[in-house]
Amino acid sequence: MPLEFRKEYFADERDDDLNEIGKPTQRQDMVGHVTGRSPFYDDHLFDGLCHIRCTRSPHHHAKIRRIDTSAAERMPGVRRIITGKDVPNNLNTLLSLLDFGLDDEPLLATEKVCYKGDPVAAVVADTERQAREAAAAVRVDYEVLPHVLDVEEAIKPGAPSISKPYPGNLFVYHGKYDHQKLRFGDVEAGFREADHVIEGRYQMSPIEQAPIETCGAIAAPETNDRFVCYTSTQALFFSLGTAAKLLDISSARLHFIGGTVGGGFGGKVDSLHEPMAILGTILTGRPCKYMFDRAEEMQVGAPRGAERWYITDGVMNDGRLVARKLVGYFDAGAYTRLSSYAIIKGVGHLPGPYTIPNVYSDVYCVFTNRTPATAMRGFGVTGVDFAIESHMDVCAREIGLDPVAYRIINSYRDGDMKAHRRVAKNTALIECCQVAAEKAGVKLSPSLLAASSLKDGGGVRGEIPNYTATDQHGRVEGYSSGSYAQGGQSREPVETGRAAPPRPGHETPRAPAPAARTEPASQTPAAARRDPPPPPATPRPPEPAPAPERAAPRRGPRFSSISGLRRR
């Protein structure tokens, strides 16, 4: 079927005089890709390249009693066995670079393993086979702990606690709640008013992004005491910041080269290959490659997390949705990675592209003993859309309406107020439904055919409800707030019994001697975190306050680097 352009929509908002957008310009990397000349990270050959393979946990959850590397160290070709104590700053969470969330994931597990495949030791050897042989010869004495693989099981009282910073297995939002809230109007009043109250439960599986090029990185010593790192990362500066933090090294000493990604789909946003490869290089002085094989990519490469959604809709006989309650559980796996952020994004998308006067949502980021989840295309939105749209069909059937008609009735229109208190614009869902109905041969009534996203929006539909039912459900104490909810408040962590989010490191260059550190942070993480972060060696100027949400209006939208977080 030929592609149709419906250029009549938003014609007045679109610049058709742009130089590239909307023009059939050839992608600059296309010729290289189709002729097989694009260099990917694994195409970089180094004389004397060493290979890194990890010893991984065979258990979902276990305490590490002892790691015995002596036999492995004596094996042929082995240059070095790396364990958690060799990692200068062995605790991280990706979003701590944005001051969001507590460090919860070691590069190499030291106290316990939290999922099947959690790395415990890494072997640097001359050949890949030697590295694999030695990785198999590392003896780890485990004390198997009870594990939990289901989101709702994980938050029941008495469930095994997986994450030290979040003992209840729930991520803490804004230092306040064990879930991300959305309240708009009064959902209970909406249900009382509704002719039908329809419930549904929707469950997604984790999905592996399965790129053709498996995740990895090659590091090598460079001149001037620097390290070069060729990597498959999708987020070069996140990877750079993460490596600098975990290795406690100035990012100025790291030369990252990426850009050609052999398939990512989100799965290469937060790989930890770069710090491992660089650490191997620091410790052996040799170029090192750390690369997932296919089985690792499938087993321990971070997937799109599973989501479970409970949706309750209050619907009138004429098809109007008057209330929607959503309770969602994201399976983050053993560590936070990007799940907490996916939820922020997902909740911004609720209640879907529909105008509903009463909306209530609680969305939980739950830790389980599964592979840590991360981004995958449209993450935070894809899963909840699956649930919402499935439920739309269920409700339409229940009240005897065509699903397309039901959607048109409820679609938001320009000028409507969305539940997260932004005015909807450029909506066009109605037009989309009309075209889809026409193509699918669905007969719509004249009034639905005459509906338009440009008409009948705004007015009362554009107002924030007079009354919004709020509550303190899920309130927690003892955490300090991350920057997402801070507005103009101070960024200093409040002094509490609980861990405060450590700040991204600001290092001064120093010689690479991580193995010589006597008391790595990993050995006393709780205590180390409770203390204020050590003062930097050179005084640094006070950090500028973050631009508060209600800062002076900017010209045009602004996007932060990978998050696409849009401030207006």
In the complex, the smallest distance separating the C-beta of residue 132 from another protein, rounded to whole angstroms, is: 3
DSSP-H helix ranges across 372-524: 382-399, 403-410, 429-440, 446-450
Position 233, amino acid: T
> Among the candidate windows 128-136, 156-164, 172-180, 443-451, which touches another protein by CB under 8 A?
128-136
In the complex, the smallest distance separating the C-beta of residue 138 from another protein, rounded to whole angstroms, is: 12
Calpha distance 510→500 (Å, rounded) = 27
Helix (H, G, I), strand (E, B) or coil at 489: coil
In the complex, the smallest distance separating the C-beta of residue 50 from another protein, rounded to whole angstroms, is: 16
In the complex, the smallest distance separating the C-beta of residue 76 from another protein, rounded to whole angstroms, is: 8
Candidates 143, 195, 225, 293; binder of another protein (CB under 8 A) is: 293
Candidates 104, 133, 178, 331; binder of another protein (CB under 8 A) is: 133
> Among the candidate windows 17-25, 126-134, 326-334, 541-549, which touches another protein by CB under 8 A?
126-134
How long is the chain? 568
In the complex, the smallest distance separating the C-beta of residue 294 from another protein, rounded to whole angstroms, is: 9
Q: b/e per residue, 57-79, with b = 16+ CB within 10 A?
A: bebbbbebeebebeebeebebbb
Task: Give strand pairing partners of 202.
Answer: 309
Sites for another protein among residues 22-81 (CB under 8 A): 76
In angstroms and rounded to an integer, the radius of gyration of the C-alpha atoms of the chain is: 26
Whichever of 127 and 560 has its CB closer to another protein, that residue is: 127
Position 114, amino acid: C
Whichever of 299 and 390 has its CB closer to another protein, that residue is: 299
Candidates 30, 71, 136, 526; binder of another protein (CB under 8 A) is: 136
Helix (H, G, I), strand (E, B) or coil at 34: helix
In the complex, the smallest distance separating the C-beta of residue 218 from another protein, rounded to whole angstroms, is: 19
129 touches another protein by CB under 8 A? yes
In the complex, the smallest distance separating the C-beta of residue 491 from another protein, rounded to whole angstroms, is: 45
Q: At what angle do helices 403-410 and 429-440 cross, to 10 degrees?
A: 170
Whichever of 295 and 494 has its CB closer to another protein, that residue is: 295
- Token pair listed for 78: 């082995």
Whichever of 117 and 514 has its CB closer to another protein, that residue is: 117
Angle at 44 between CA 207 and CA 375, to 5 degrees: 20
Whichever of 39 and 76 has its CB closer to another protein, that residue is: 76
> Among the candidate windows 24-32, 130-138, 173-181, 212-220, which touches another protein by CB under 8 A?
130-138
Whichever of 133 and 178 has its CB closer to another protein, that residue is: 133
Helix (H, G, I), strand (E, B) or coil at 514: helix
Count of C-beta atoms within a 10 Å radius of residue 2: 3
In the complex, the smallest distance separating the C-beta of residue 48 from another protein, rounded to whole angstroms, is: 20
> Among the candidate windows 22-30, 34-42, 129-137, 264-272, which touches another protein by CB under 8 A?
129-137
Q: Is the peptide bond before 351 cis (omega within 30 degrees of 0)?
A: yes
Closest CA to 387 of 316, 267, 306: 306
Calpha distance 282→288 (Å, rounded) = 9
Candidates 31, 71, 144, 295; binder of another protein (CB under 8 A) is: 295
Whichever of 206 and 474 has its CB closer to another protein, that residue is: 206
Q: At what angle do helices 273-284 and 236-247 cross, to 10 degrees?
A: 50
> Among the candidate windows 131-139, 175-183, 331-339, 398-406, which touches another protein by CB under 8 A?
131-139
Calpha distance 483→491 (Å, rounded) = 7
Task: Give strand pairing partners of 295.
Answer: none
In the complex, the smallest distance separating the C-beta of residue 329 from another protein, rounded to whole angstroms, is: 21
Interface contacts to another protein, rule CB under 8 A: 76, 128-129, 132-133, 136, 293, 295
